Structure 1
Amino acid sequence: MATAIRARRTRLAAAVVPSAVLALLVPSAAVPASADGTPVRGSAHMGMGVMTHDGSSGAPGDARAGQTEGVDVASYQGDVAWSKLWSSGVKWAYTKASEGTYYTNPSFSDQYNGSRKVGMIRGAYHFATPDTGTGASQADYFVDHGGGWSDDGTTLPGVLDIEWNPYGDDCYGKSPSAMVTWIRNFLNRYKSRTGRNAVIYTATSWWNTCTKSYGGFGATNPLWVARYASSVGELPAGWSTHTMWQYTSTGELVGDRDRFNGSTDRLKELATG
């Protein structure tokens, strides 16, 4: 009898544990889509196209001593367990603030301030849609809806998230030269509004295709590279090193996990400029 009871308990544990683990590894809600499966405008987020276009190749190596763990979040992740993330070693976070000139994250304030309340250094990002407005107008929209910067030692410079178009043509219908011009206009307006150079988040394959390997931003704008693999790999044209790396979309508590390529002291330097 005792043996049978133990066997039943073992079977129950085997059934329960995977679902508990799964709850830690997936986002809290699915990205909304229309009837034909196309994502709803406003639902885009960092790395949305990475798995589709670049895939995933191996688990990332252990973080080096000089790297600092971070996360990025958007509205679909809802309430974030910031205290648990902080306790697990996450020290910085970026929250989606805006998209195009038509969308602001309804959870932005809670997510952005929630990360700061537990001690994290935090920032905001803008999902670019170059087919819906100029670079300058989207930079203004971003700054006006949470993407500004303040010299308080806890605010990271804003991020331009420029990657595959989830709603249509990968390069938003723009030629490489037109795309470079759009990006330049966004960056110039952001700097004129905030005094800081924005970080560029992108994936190497998208960048080299849609800008035709343009290398003119590496000297001024920090790079946040997206690659779900065991190493950062080849960087986009123009950069010899990366500042941040989004290495997975299936991390614990929050799927999108990142590493800052430096210590927390260097992270603070990026915040203060």
Structure 2
Amino acid sequence: MALLGIDISAYQEDVNWATVASQSVFYGFAKATEGVTSRDEKFARNWAGMRSVGIVRGAYHFFRPGRDPAQQADNFLKTVQTIEDFDLPPVLDLEINDGQSASVVIDRALKWLEIIEAKTGRKPILYTYPSFWEDKLGNTARFSEYPLWIANFGTPGRPYIPSAWKLWVFHQYSESGTLRGIVGNVDLNQFNGDLDGLQKLLKGRIPLRQGCEGNVVQEMQSLLKAQGFDLGTPDGDFGPKTKAQVVAFQKAKSLLTDGIVGAATWSALQKTSPSVPPAPLPIDLINVCKSYRGAAHQDSSLRWLQSQIPKSTLDEFARRWRQP
């Protein structure tokens, strides 16, 4: 099952993300930056919008090989600010050479990737297209360790990929897609796997909403049921009944009641009830006295106990103890 996703920039103007999500779009990549100073004017809106509707989000940088890679990495990091555990890894969009030689383009692109990986702790994804890779970069294999997002139009599910890679992770198969909620055309993509496969690209738990299917959904349902919210047998299908119980759980935990299992809801589901230590056994002085053997620690304990008891209480105890 190849999952549908999109990539967007300011070119798509103001995206209605709720409407987009209703069309089984599971993930989206938003342009964040280009070069050393350019920032996409719609990035912040798109970044927040994807999260608000449970679309798994990613951010990409359009690389300018003619500019300093460290400054470009800094531009990207300052714009995106934080790659959350539930976000996709950062993406380097490498599709032009800026008049630079292949060796310069390769070295500078690798530098950007190394900096971003070191700063974020995530291995970035590389976006490119076959003819650029083969004709302009000599079909280099120096990027083979990075997950591949390949642009190859008109071949959904069957992209041509450069020989350095055996598998593709994302495939941009159309630049003329149409979706309700987006003005004009939009790039369409497929993920090479199912929702559980997409989960493996993330550090945290994947956002879930109605329409999601897979083992990760079944895990969420089991946690929900363990919290006392009965949705029937966990079956890995996020349908209306599951959504209703998610909303009920969110309401009970004073969370946003949107029916989307995002970071806050996952966190609340994964919390277990605090363990209650067993109540200490009551002290029976008769049994304590029966175990008295005149040991030093026992004498010391009795002297301490005597110091804690009011004199009137001790006197009454002595009177009762002596009486026949």
State whether TM-score is above 0.5. Answer: yes
**What is the percentage of aligned positions where both structures have the same residue?**
34
- Please name the residue that 2:64 is paired with: 129
Tell me if 1:199 matches 2:131: no
Per-residue deviation, 1:68: 0.7
Tell me if 1:82 matches 2:17: yes
RMSD: 1.5
Could you report, residue by residue, the CA deviation over 1:68-103 in whole angstroms, capped at 9, with x for unpaired residues?
110011012111121222111101001000000121
- Please name the residue that 1:223 is paired with: 148
- Please name the residue that 1:235 is paired with: 161
Could you report, residue by residue, the CA deviation over 1:114-159 in whole angstroms, capped at 9, with x for unpaired residues?
111111110100011111x2222211211111164222x2x11110
Pick aligned residue for 2:195 from 239, 260, 264: 264
- TM score, norm. by length of structure 2: 0.59
1:142 touches 1:148 (CA, 8 Å); kept in 2? no
Pick closer, same or farther for the CA change 1:178–1:240 going to 2, 3 Å: same
Tell me if 1:251 matches 2:183: no
Tell me if 1:159 matches 2:91: yes
Structure 2: tracts of 5 or more residues without a match: 205-324
1:48-197 residue pairs with structure 2 within 5 A? Answer: 66-131=1-66, 133-146=67-80, 148-151=82-85, 153=86, 155-164=87-96, 171-197=97-123
Runs (4+) off by over 6 Å = none
Pick closer, same or farther for the CA change 1:209–1:95 going to 2, 3 Å: same
- Please name the residue that 2:247 is paired with: none
- TM score, norm. by length of structure 1: 0.69
Distance 1:271 1:78 in 2: 28
Distance 1:148 1:80 in 2: 22
Per-residue deviation, 1:105: 1.1
1:208 touches 1:237 (CA, 8 Å); kept in 2? no
Which letter maps to 1:264? L
Structure 1: tracts of 5 or more residues without a match: 1-65, 165-170
1:159 touches 1:201 (CA, 8 Å); kept in 2? yes
Per-residue deviation, 1:265: 1.6
Distance 1:204 1:175 in 2: 18
Distance 2:82 2:74 in 1: 9
1:224 touches 1:244 (CA, 8 Å); kept in 2? yes
